[in-house]
Amino acid sequence: MLDPFALKNHQVWRPNQRFLPLILQHKNEKTLNFSAETTLMHIRPIGNDFVAEITNIDLRLPLTAEQIQTIDHAMDQYAVVVFPKQELDDDQEVAFARSLGPLEETRAVVDVHKQRLAYNQMNDISNLDVDGSILAADDRRRMFNLGNSLWHSDSSFKATPAKYSMLHARVIPPEGGNTEFADMRAAWDRLPAKTKAQIEPLVCDHSLIYSRAQLGFDAFNEQELLNYAPVPQRLVRKHPGSGRKSVYLASHIGLVHGMPRPEGMILIRDLIEEATRREFVYSHVWSQFDLVMWDNRCTMHRARPYDDKIYKRDMRRMTLTDSAPTLEQPL
Ligand code: OGA
Ligand code: MN
């Protein structure tokens, strides 16, 4: 297999390197030309230094090993990647996600029996009922879904959390409904040495119940309470692809091990506040058929409001599962 990253010395990607040298040379854009038969993918940074746009690739078609490797390298380097104008249907979105790695097999929802989408692995990030109509204001699913507006990392409340998420825009509202992203590697890098030393060994409990409690939502039934029992995760982790450390934060955190609850929660609040300062946030303004992919191991994101009682927003998310619980991963 042709390895483009081994072609020239100056193109070899190294952990901890802030930019791929392959990129940024010619008008902020460079074609990665691996072999005659593969598509020429274009990668260029947009907005913040942790977000890139990839064009000149058709995600409806099976990806070559080189294309998958390039996407993984771009994800290691950046952490959020935008693929504009990908007109995928459900089968194609599932096939694309599958080609990148093992999928999360379960959705984290309330009212599991009320499903609009056919694939169990596809998360319905919409304001729509099973029949396609807009959810009522007091629908449990709407109230639960509003939790996406809190800064979080997908599935940090699962024993083995999420790796990449891929969110595809099918229908977007005329205004609002941006998705914001923050880089938790940069957040770690910015912390004072003393704070780094203090938080590095810490372990937190994560649960959907904790994030929803912040919004006053506690209408879980017994089965849901069992499903969403807290799980422990490291507060600091190391990214296997880049070697960079990051703070593993989410509004799902409800307890820091070894600390009285309020003490731990103030620490987490301060860390989230610092990590998501305006100047470090990328706000994605959606166009129809954008597919945005982010690495949950080293970023947080949140939904922004839109008039969800009037306009439809239909987004569908595929999620790759991480390799193991964070405590079983080396730091
Ligand atoms: C998600 C999510 C935010 C949004 O899909 O995991 O948090 O803007 N989405 O819909
Ligand atoms: Mn999310």
Indicate the average pLDDT of the chain.
90
> pTM for the full model?
0.89
Cα 311 from Cα 308, distance rounded (Å): 5
Tell me the residue range of the domain where 260 lies.
4-328
Q: Which residue has the tokens 């964070």?
A: 326
Distance 315 CA to ligand 1 centre (A): 8
Q: Which atom of ligand 1 is nearest to the CA of 177?
A: 8
Q: Which atom of ligand 1 is nearest to the CA of 313?
A: 10
Q: What is the pLDDT of residue 107?
A: 82
User: Residues near ligand 1 with C-beta < 6 Å?
Assistant: 125, 148, 154, 165, 167, 179, 301, 303, 315, 317
Give the closest residue to 296 by CA, choosing from 274, 317, 266: 317
CB 104 within 8 A of CB 47: no
CATH number of the domain within which 304 lies: 3.60.130.10
Pocket test for ligand 1, best of 153, 315, 318, 320 (most atoms within 8 A of CB): 315
Element (H, E) at 143: helix 140-145
Q: What total of structural domains would you count in the chain? A: 1
Q: Which atom of ligand 1 is nearest to the CA of 123?
A: 5
Distance 227 CA to ligand 2 centre (A): 18
Per residue in 206-244, pLDDT tens?
A: 999 999 999 999 989 999 999 999 999 999 999 999 999
Per residue in 37-48, pLDDT tens?
A: 455 899 999 988
- Compute CA distances 306 → 58, 139, 212, 218, 278, whole Å: 30, 17, 19, 23, 20
